[in-house]
Chain A
Amino acid sequence: MKKIFLLLLIAPLISFGQKEYAEEARLMFAEANFAYNKGNLTDAFALYEKCIGIEPQYAEAFVNMSFIKFDSKDYNKALDYALKAHSIEKVQHSIFSALGKSYYMVGDYDSAATYLAKIEYFDDLTEVEEYFLAASNVKLNNFSAAKPLAKKLYTNRPSNSDYAALKGNVMYGYGEYEQAMELYKKALDLNPDNVYIYSNIAKACLQLNQNDKALEYINKGVEIATGEGKVTFLILKGNYFHSIGELDNAEKAYDEAYKIDNSNTNILVNQAGILIDKEDYQSALEKCNMAIEKNSELMEAYFNRGIANEMLRNIEDACSDWEEAFILGSEKAEKFLNSSTCNE
């Protein structure tokens, strides 16, 4: 009975689809969907796996597996499955959605924005998709692209703290720091647990030369946040102290961040920066080496290592590092490459 029921359920789906999947696979897929819609994600996942065992090119199954992994916060796996689906079917709404969101969560905002924007070829984006797209554009500093979406989200849901903060980010990006502050404060009022907002408010305060207030918010964030959030605040704190010339305090903040997360290459880069300012070039070099080992495409690490190498009189290595930094997008490195340092 169950199978007949399922068959009736999936009949419209099957009749629509043009791809000729094996019937067994289609039945398995329908069963998996049923479990998914019921919220039985573990069962659903297992069924999708079986489905793929029968029909390895079942793109729809991969998409749903991506969704499941995403909901389990396993974003790398979510991306893997989304990519697998994409390799089979390159133009599909659900695949673009899965890819866009997964890319966002693994930090590839450029790819996230690219795929989320493509959803428009099919339909209007869902609210969540709009949020991801707007957030991606904010991360890419593409505030003009983020603005209409942020405005729409906030207008439709003014009591949503994240949407208020998002719009604040857009205002920040436009240089409207006062407006940004207003929105951040509103966001915090709506949800005081949104600790990340302290980071954005602090940045707005710095732009408005309200340094004391900025430090207050940063310290508040450091106090409340945990894990990766705390690391973000400590980096912000370090950057703040560096900007006012307090190298020792900056170093302390970065060191504290490093103790929490020693795989964060941004911390290593910034530690190297401080060491360069303190003229401890050998230590700076070592920090850069560690950063590059973890991420071989970290432009700032190559840039800083170039400076350290130059001051340690390793001119050839310095120029090689700046070349790498230039390839990765550093305009300043290009100037160094064209200078007499690298052109005897």
Chain B
Amino acid sequence: MNNIMKKILLLLVLIGTLTSYAQDVPFDVKQLGDKPGFNKAVRAIKLGDIDYERGSEEDMANALKHYVVADSFNSKSAYLNFKMGVCHLYGGQKYEAKDRLEFVKQYGNSKDYPDLDFYLAQSYQLDGQWGKAIELFKAYKETLADADEEQRFFINKKIKECRVGEELASAPVRVWIDNLGPGVNSSYSDYGPVISADNRELFFTSRRPNGDDAEKDETGYNYEDIYSSSRAFGEEWDEAVNLGKPVNTKKHDATVGLAPDGRSLITYHGINRKNGNLQITKKDDAGNWEKLTDLGSNINSDYHEEAATLSFDEKKLFFVSDKPGGLGGHDIYVALWDEANQTWGEAENLGENINTEFDEKGVFFHPDGKTLYFSSAGHRTMGGLDIFKSEYNSDTEEWSTPVNIGYPINTPDDDVYFVVSGNERYAYYSSVREDGFGEKDIYKITFLGEKKKPAFAASDLVNGSLDTTYDERSAAGNFDKRDLIIVEGKVSDKISGAGLVSKITFIDAITNESISELVTEPDGTYHILLETNKDYAITAEKDGFTLASDNINPRFEDEGNSYTKNFGLSALDGTVVINNTNNTTDANDSNNATNNTDNANNNNNTDSASNNNSNSSSETKPNSNNESISFTLRNIYFDFDQSTLRHASVGELDKLVKILKENPEMRIQLVGHTDSRGPAWYNNALSKRRSKVAKDYLVSKGISASRIDAKGAGERELEVSDNQIENMSSVRKKEEAHQKNRRTVVKIID
């Protein structure tokens, strides 16, 4: 055979293969009758058709089993693919439907399958191909008779679902959805998860066989049983175990609800899935489940009750029922616990904010006491039952409009039995998803919240090239002074806290030598550098005001430390400074910067004669406080255990003399205080002697004795208590505290 002929033959074979590959191959005895297995396949189809015609979910599943046998013989039959596609849609493995129905669409005769678009549209909806689904639903609607209102209504609903699906899928909720794994899920239907609020106990329903000869119900499926699993903090769920008796029986036993503490379990118990009652069991202290008790006639009816949830305080019970009087299908009801009669009160329908003409199922009431999660085939669903959330407003006594909790939690298929952990980080539900182990599985949802924005290192404002900045300086010479400390603080009005321009003197407390004298800033602040290894007596003074004094005794090891010494003065005329308008601020500083003072001029002026020792434009007001004016002098020194004035004390007393001379009508009380060392009677006497000595000094300087009342308070009014001193960490600190107690308080009594 020459080359051309070979090529022609090859082409013909190729065309033949392609055409034979892509076409409807009916189960026709003429085409396939001579092949082995044909009869078996045809028989399987017939058996399948019988189940198919019955139409229930279980029948569809059974039909599918037969069709699979036929499909293994011939997978190219449009008829068989159509039947299998529909079975998938209404039975298990719904996601398998699309390919089968697309095959029919492409290769089958459309007249033979008038409902094909309807089913294919649903498979597209399941697959998230919203646009295609809507197109086919619309096309199918055109084929309906005008009188077919019910079907039209249903198609319109499906179109609406697709639109909702499109909207929700375009803005997915940030979640992780994880199958709980083979330890919990099985190849059978596993659903109805309920969890304790602490996310440690899980109960769910499974249709897996329990034991080797598990009984089956009238549909041929295993009876429902309740299983449990638990987990430790941070760990995965343990292998699920059957709860056994008395919770599980030979009939249907399904999880319905769980109290937040995990100790009360509500179950559904019945001979079939449509005719059963809600019951409750509690865990005793030994961890065993008690016998089930019926929830009572206000809850259970002759109709179908499924799903129930307790409030955190177990005083409210929400449950689902399809009893008459609702809004349509299954509805959600609430009943309150009647403490007096120890039973549930009459149930009330939650009303049309929550319930719709379609089914509402799978209810869960969050431990927060106001949020209700439930599944609904009404509201804005993207297909089947979707999970919604509504909050109860106790003021208006209304439920908020339910909100779809979003994709991908909700899918175009049924999404039911949604429960949320106490901290709302996790939720569990059952769903049919492609990664499942078979039929429904239980999934854990982790809510990730809003996308977290990462931090970026900003590029700062750039300053000039400081590295080229040359400070024309000469080498640093030897330091003038060494071993310095920083002392800073503020002189202010004792009552208002307004800063006072004042003079501060620093005296060597041993030699009485003047070390430094300065005038504070306009706002009353000051700072100074002092050498260590000296004892300083510090006095703050201002014309027309009381004195304030303190002392500081820095040692060598204190070098480099900063000390804050603040002083409060009181005006002798009884007024209070409320605003020191000498505090200048930059008038252009209108923004809310952190520090609004513009102290470009540091002015620690040591010229004591300067005119800064006055608040020249201060505002004052009368002092409404009726307490008499007093101030404390801390630098009146006596030799230890003596009442002899030390030379260094005269400076402070001289300042007091000046005040008294400038205010000739003033009368004062001098009260001496000691520290607490030594017996109380002794300290009392010592303090009296010392205040008398101080008085004598004042008198020696020309102050009338009648103007001075000298008293002793001993150790009765310690500034630092013995307890506080006891708890101090060093001897030095303790000594400083004792020194603080040794003082003279001057009280202006007139």
Contacts and interface: CB of A to CB of B under 8 A. Distances in A.
A307 interface: yes
Contact of B456 (A142, A239, A340): A239
A270 B461 contact: no
Given A120-B602, A142-B595, A340 B424 contact: yes
The A interface is mostly helix, strand or loop, or mixed, namely helix
A316 B234 contact: yes
A147 B454 contact: no
A276 B457 CA distance: 14
A122 B604 CA distance: 10
Given A273-B455, A330-B455, 10 more contacts: A17-B479, A19-B482, A126-B473, A128-B469, A152-B600, A165-B464, A169-B463, A194-B465, A197-B462, A303-B455
A344 B199 contact: yes
Name the residue in B199, B233, B459 with the highest tally of chain A Cβ atoms < 10 Å from its Cβ: B459
Contact of B463 (A29, A165, A174, A303): A165
Q: Give the interface size bracket for A toward B.
A: 35 or more
Contacts of A194: 464-465
A272 interface: yes
A144 B425 CA distance: 44
B560 interface: yes
A205 interface: no
A194 B462 CA distance: 11
Given A89-B482, A91-B486, A344-B233, A36 B474 contact: yes
A146 to B, nearest CB: 9
A138 B454 CA distance: 25
A300 interface: yes
A128 B471 contact: yes
A16 B447 CA distance: 73
Given A17-B478, A60-B477, A307-B452, A73 B464 contact: no
Interface string B410-425: 0000000000000111
A109 B652 CA distance: 44
A19 B467 CA distance: 33
B4 interface: no
A210 to B, nearest CB: 17
Contacts of A71: 470
A300 B457 contact: yes
A44 interface: yes
Contact of B478 (A13, A152, A239): A13
A104 interface: yes
Interface string A224-265: 000000001001100100100000000000000000000001
A33 interface: yes
Interface of B: 176, 199, 233-234, 423-425, 447-449, 452, 454-467, 469-471, 473-486, 527-529, 559-561, 586, 589, 591, 593-596, 598-600, 602
Contact of A89 (B464, B479, B599, B600): B479
A143 interface: yes
5 smallest beta-carbon distances between A and B, as pairs: A90-B560, A162-B464, A144-B593, A17-B478, A266-B457
A219 interface: no
Contacts of A269: 455-457
Contact of A135 (B424, B466, B478, B602): B466
A215 interface: no
B602 A161 contact: no
Contact of B460 (A124, A131, A139, A340): A139
A14 interface: yes
Contact of A239 (B448, B458, B561): B458
A104 B480 CA distance: 27
Interface string A179-201: 00000000000000010110110
B586 A147 contact: yes
A34 to B, nearest CB: 8
A50 to B, nearest CB: 15
Given A194-B464, A199-B462, A16 B478 contact: yes
A18 interface: yes
Nearest to B425: A340
Given A166-B464, A343-B423, A19 B598 contact: no
B463 A135 contact: yes
Interface of A: 13-14, 16-19, 26, 29, 32-33, 36-37, 44, 59-60, 63-64, 67, 71, 73, 75, 89-92, 94, 97, 101, 104-105, 118, 120-122, 124, 126, 128-129, 131-132, 135, 138-139, 142-145, 147-149, 152, 161-163, 165-166, 169, 172-175, 194, 196-197, 199-200, 203, 232, 235-236, 239, 242, 265-266, 269-270, 272-273, 276-277, 284, 299-300, 303-304, 307, 310, 313, 316, 330, 332, 336, 339-341, 343-344
Contacts of A16: 477-478, 480
23 contacts: A29-B478, A37-B474, A37-B475, A59-B479, A67-B475, A89-B482, A91-B485, A104-B466, A124-B602, A126-B473, A129-B471, A131-B464, A143-B593, A144-B596, A147-B593, A147-B598, A149-B600, A163-B464, A232-B459, A273-B456, A300-B457, A344-B199, A344-B423
Given A272-B454, A340-B424, A139 B459 contact: no
Contact of B455 (A17, A105, A145, A299): A299
Given A60-B478, A120-B602, A121-B527, A235 B457 contact: yes
A265 B456 CA distance: 11
B456 A144 contact: no
B467 A105 contact: yes
A60 B464 contact: no
A190 to B, nearest CB: 11
Contact of A304 (B199, B454, B465, B589): B454
A166 B455 contact: no
Contacts of A120: 527, 602
A333 B467 CA distance: 36
A199 B463 CA distance: 10
B69 to A, nearest CB: 43
A13 B458 CA distance: 49
Given A91-B559, A92-B479, A307-B452, A148 B484 contact: no
A45 B221 CA distance: 95
A19 B480 CA distance: 10
A67 B476 contact: yes
A49 B155 CA distance: 94
Contacts of B199: 344
